[in-house]
Amino acid sequence: MKQISWYRSIRFRIPAVIALVLLVPIVVFWHYSMELTRKNMLSQTSNLIYTNLYGASLLMDDVMEQVSDFSREISQDPGFLSLISQYQQADAGSDQRQKARSQLSLALSQYVGQLRTLDSIYLMFPETETVVTMLPGQKELSFSHHYAQQLYQMYYDVFESPIVWHLLPSAGGGSRMLSHIRPVSGPAQQEKCILICNLKDSAWQTALSALELYSGSVWISNYAGQVLLSYGSTLSTSQNIGQDSRFSQAFAQNRQYGTYSYQEDGTDYLISYYNAVESGWKYLSCVPEDIVLSGSGGARAFSLLALLCGALGISLGSLILYRYVVRPISALMSHLSDMEQGTLAQAPVPVQRDEISLLFHRYNQMIQRLQKLIDEIYVQQLLRKQAELSFLQSQMDEHFLYNTLNTIYSQASHEHADTSAWMILTLSRYFRISLSQGSDKLPLDQLADLLRSYLQLQQMRFGRSLVFQIQRFPEMEQFVALKYLFQPIVENSIVHGFEKRPAQHRIEITFQKEGDMLFFQVADDGIGISPQDLGPLLRQINGEGPIQGRSFALRNIHEQLCIAYGPRDIHIESRPGAGTRVFFRIPLERREPHV
């Protein structure tokens, strides 16, 4: 038996199939589950961030509205406007200027106390190039002062609208402050001054503290990308956040809210934004996805545990299959290999009652049948050898008889015994065809001639009371058949149909081609066979019962038919006093060129 490659072996393929059927779906399901969990967590986080951004915008809008309303009230206060007018009209360095500046500083301090979210209030006078504050020791700053110069420069470079919010530097040089800037006009519509209301950090940090999710960063900017506030970020507030690649998509979208993923330096970020239409501010959040997904460790551990259990289940299933399937099949293959080598030994049947044990039972039954068949073939070979010896001996007798008949024919012709000479010639021709140089098969046309010679010899016995007809088909000489199949049937027809009934007798012999089959039939008008005798006779002829008397020749023909052409039956149809019809069919065998 050919050796099977390891990758084709069932002991490899069964675990592989189990792995494909179980492990692969588990891995796919695990991957799908983790991806679904990831999407759900990111979606939940995105919704939470949106809720916090929206809430922060509401808090900031409330603070902004309070400061905006307060600054409007200040800018419309007649007393405050009068003090501004006095300060602007007084000459620089005069006592009247100093007095107006002191009154303004005091008023600013009083105003700051009225709104707890304010840290300080400044007044910037572009015409006089001064800044009036409420800061101790810095009640008035000229534009030559570095802080006042910064405010003045930002006034011309940044403040594009009459009323704006902006992140301004603090006077102490610390962190920047979120400031509300409003122009103020005096009663006489003199040159405008700028009111700057600076918020405390606590005023906006409380609103943004809820946005510090998962160690993320938060920015508030205007639509132009100028940062107003930032929380938990290292990004400088002087930078334009709209030019940052992380937030380019947020500034390019016109939607009120959105979220998307961004990757930078191998790290994935969840970017969220919210556009507050009322304030004109954009709220931005950047959270690393790894921090968001850190809570999925339990689901990941569960999935890995399920994967491990699946692998263990596959291993256990493979061991069970190996014990109850692979190992018995390997043992059966070993016995099959021994059978190929000529050793016919039965295999021990496994103890389990399943298809494998049934396969072993079938194998043992096959071995028993093979042994029986081998014994039968051996006996048949012995019988065939004996038949060959008998046939050689009969050939020697036939040759001797054929030569003797030729000698008698020559002598009868010399003596002018024409009838005897014709009879001897017919018999000699019959033996010449039947000998056929020792061949078992003859062309069909010669077999028909053989039957004709035999019937002519029988006519010498019965005289004109025996009439026969042989029906042929074209190209009979191109096909061959066993030479001993046909004459015994004709002989039976004469012996059993005519000998006990002296009268006119007729025999019709048919050779007919039916596709690739030969139909042979012998029909007579003899005494026939009774139904009681016909049934047992057919069973004896076709191998169902012992051979008796008249069935011997036909039983012999039946066995030759089965050996040469496969299982088939000889058919007999007969009625008492109406004759008998015997026929069979065999495959047509084409004549070899040397025959």
The pLDDT tens digits for 101-118 are 888 888 888 888 888 888
pLDDT at residue 585 is higher than 80: yes
Neighbours of 111 (CB within 10 A): 20
Spatial CB neighbours of 440, under 8 Å, sequence gap ≥ 6: 482, 483, 484
297 pLDDT more than 80: no
Mean pLDDT throughout 293-312? 67
Count of CA atoms in the C-beta half-sphere (13 A) of 571: 11
pLDDT of residue 404: 56
* pLDDT value at 98 more than 60: yes
Structural tokens at position 422: 């014709």
Maximum distance among all Cα pairs of the chain, rounded to whole angstroms:
191
CATH number for domain 439-590, candidates 3.40.50.2300, 3.30.565.10, 1.10.10.10, 3.40.640.10: 3.30.565.10
pLDDT in tens, 377-427: 765 666 555 555 444 444 444 554 555 565 666 666 666 666 676 677 676
Structural tokens at position 273 = 């934004």
**CA 288 vs CA 229, 295, 333: distances in Å:** 20, 13, 61
Most confident of 189-193, 233-237, 562-566: 562-566
CATH topology of domain 1-197+296-341: Beta-Lactamase (3.30.450)
Helical H segments across 436-468, by residue range? 444-462
Higher pLDDT, 9 or 248: 248
Task: Assess whether pLDDT exceeds 60 at residue 230.
Answer: yes
Residue 484 tokens, joined: 């001993």
For 63, phi then psi, to 5°, come to -65, -45
Higher pLDDT pick, 138 / 269:
269
pLDDT band at 494 (very low <50, low <70, confident <90, very high): confident
Q: Give the model's pLDDT for residue 489.
A: 87
pLDDT band at 509 (very low <50, low <70, confident <90, very high): very high
pLDDT bin (cut points 50, 70, 90) of residue 431 is low
Confidence category of residue 433, pLDDT binned at 50, 70, 90: low
pLDDT of residue 512: 93
Residue 521's pLDDT band (cuts 50, 70, 90): very high
Q: What angle do CA 424, 427, 431 make, to 5 degrees?
A: 135
Give the DSSP H or E segment for 535.
Answer: helix 531-541
Whether residue 51 has pLDDT greater than 70: yes
**What is the SS3 assignment for 502?**
coil
Distance CA 524, CA 580 (A): 6
| Sign of the four-CA dihedral 63, 68, 69, 75 | positive
Between these two residues, 39 and 162, which has the higher pLDDT value? 39
pLDDT score of 382? 61
Q: Report the pLDDT averaged over residues 274-297.
A: 77
342-351: long-range pairs with CB below 8 Å, 24+: 344/370, 344/371, 344/374, 350/324
pLDDT cut 70: percent of the chain above it: 69
Q: Please state whether the predicted TM-score (pTM) of the whole model is above 0.85.
A: no
- Span 201-211, mean pLDDT? 71
Residue bearing the bigger pLDDT, 414 or 472: 472
Does the domain at 203-295 match CATH 3.40.50.980? Answer given as no
Give yes or no for residue 64 having a pLDDT over 60.
yes
Hey, what are 206's tokens? 């409380």
Buried b (16+ CB within 10 A) or exposed e, 488-520: bbbbbbbebbbeeeeeebebbbbbebeeeebeb
Provide the pLDDT for residue 479.
93
Say if residues 274 and 251 touch (Cβ distance below 8 Å).
no
Eight-class DSSP state of 2: P
For the packed helices 24-75 and 78-89, what is the interaxial angle rounded to 10 degrees? 70
Calpha distance 526→133 (Å, rounded): 152
Task: Report the pLDDT value the prediction gives residue 380, as an integer from 0 to 100.
Answer: 62
Give the C-alpha distances (Å, rounded to integers) separating 348 from 207, 213, 321, 342, 352: 85, 72, 19, 18, 12
In this predicted structure, what is the pLDDT of residue 473?
93
Model confidence band, residue 100 (pLDDT cutoffs 50, 70, 90) = confident
- From residue 145, alpha-carbon distances to 149, 150, 401, 433, 464 in Å are 6, 9, 156, 146, 161
Cα distance between residue 210 and residue 57, in whole Å: 11
Per-residue pLDDT at 438: 54
Angstrom distance (rounded) from CA 324 to CA 349:
12
pLDDT, tens digit, for every residue of 129-184? 788 888 776 677 776 676 666 666 666 555 544 567 777 777 666 567 788 888 88
Residue 560 makes CB contacts below 8 A (sequence gap 6+) with 482, 484, 485
Per-residue pLDDT reduced to its tens digit, 306-353? 667 767 776 776 777 766 676 777 777 777 777 777 677 777 777 666
Instruction: Provide φ and ψ at 290, rounded to 5°.
Output: -60, -35
198 vs 319 pLDDT, higher one: 198
What pLDDT score does 393 carry?
45
Provide φ and ψ at 551, rounded to 5°: -85, -5
Give residue 226's pLDDT band: very low, low, confident or very high (50, 70, 90): confident
CB-based contact 237:306 (threshold 8 Å): no
Q: What percent of the chain has pLDDT over 90?
A: 6
Look at residue 480 in the predicted model and tell me its pLDDT.
Answer: 92
